[in-house]
């Protein structure tokens, strides 16, 4: 099984949707994953995740690809559970930009026992291919004295 965890596009929290940049990011993402054979899409009920997904739409052996459009906190909780890592380590030490793709695949090393392995985290290949810079959302200022960047 392959599981793609995709963070929603650049958010406009005031209207629970996406910014203009977020809609562009979602469009680039949609083009890059449109050729994948996806078995199912799972989408958060919040507007910004639903808007991002709207542009794209171990019991037995399973080669399905599943896509989940969600939020960074949800991604950290899921990865923590599937990989046996504290979600707080992920939350405080990693950054997944809007529309970034995290890919996990299952490996069956012993018959009937599958485990997840993360092959990419926070990949923004679709933005690079389109010449689009990643949104600053999810990050904080590099230097505290920089008043042009987010502080909290």
Distance, CA of 100 to chain centre: 5
Per-residue pLDDT for 94 more than 90?
yes
Asked if residue 142 is part of any domain, the answer here is no
Q: Which domain holds residue 121?
A: 2-130
The model carries a pTM of 0.73
Q: Domain containing 11 — which CATH number?
A: 3.40.50.1240
Render pLDDT for 113-132 as a digit per residue (tens, 0 to 9): 778 899 999 999 999 999 99
Q: Which of 95, 14, 3, 79 lies closest to 41, judged by CA?
A: 3
- Our separate counts of H helices and E strands in the chain read 5, 7
Per-residue pLDDT for 137 more than 90?
no
Q: Give the chain's end-to-end CA distance (angstroms, integer).
A: 37
The pLDDT of residue 43 is: 84
The pLDDT of residue 59 is: 41
- The mean pLDDT of the chain is 86
Residue carrying the six token digits 């958010």? 11
Render pLDDT for 49-79 as a digit per residue (tens, 0 to 9): 888 877 775 444 567 888 999 999 999 999 9
The pLDDT of residue 25 is: 94
Asked if residue 150 is part of any domain, the answer here is no
**Alpha-carbon torsion 115, 86, 13, 96, what sign?**
negative
Asked if residue 100 is part of any domain, the answer here is yes
Phi, psi (degrees; rounded to nearest 5) at 59: -100, -35
**Residues contacting residue 107 through CB under 8 Å, at least 6 positions apart:** 114, 115, 116, 117
Asked if residue 143 is part of any domain, the answer here is no
Asked if residue 137 is part of any domain, the answer here is no
Overall domain count for the chain: 1
The pLDDT of residue 77 is: 94
């Amino acid at each position: 099984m392959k599981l793609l965890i995709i963070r929603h596009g650049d958010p406009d929290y005031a209207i629970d949707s996406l910014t203009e940049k977020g809609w562009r990011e979602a469009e680039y993402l949609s083009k890059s994953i449109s050729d994948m054979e996806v078995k199912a899409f799972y989408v958060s009920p919040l507007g910004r995740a639903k808007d991002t997904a709207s542009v794209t739409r171990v019991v037995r052996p399973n080669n399905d690809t599943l896509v989940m459009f969600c939020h960074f906190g949800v991604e950290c909780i899921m990865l923590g559970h599937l990989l046996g890592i504290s979600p707080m380590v992920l939350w405080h030490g990693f950054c997944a930009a809007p529309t970034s793709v995290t890919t996990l695949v299952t490996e069956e090393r012993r018959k009937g026992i599958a485990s997840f392995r993360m092959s990419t985290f926070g990949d923004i290949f679709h933005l690079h291919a389109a010449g689009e810079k990643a949104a600053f959302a999810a990050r904080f200022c590099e230097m505290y004295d920089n008043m042009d960047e987010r502080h909290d």
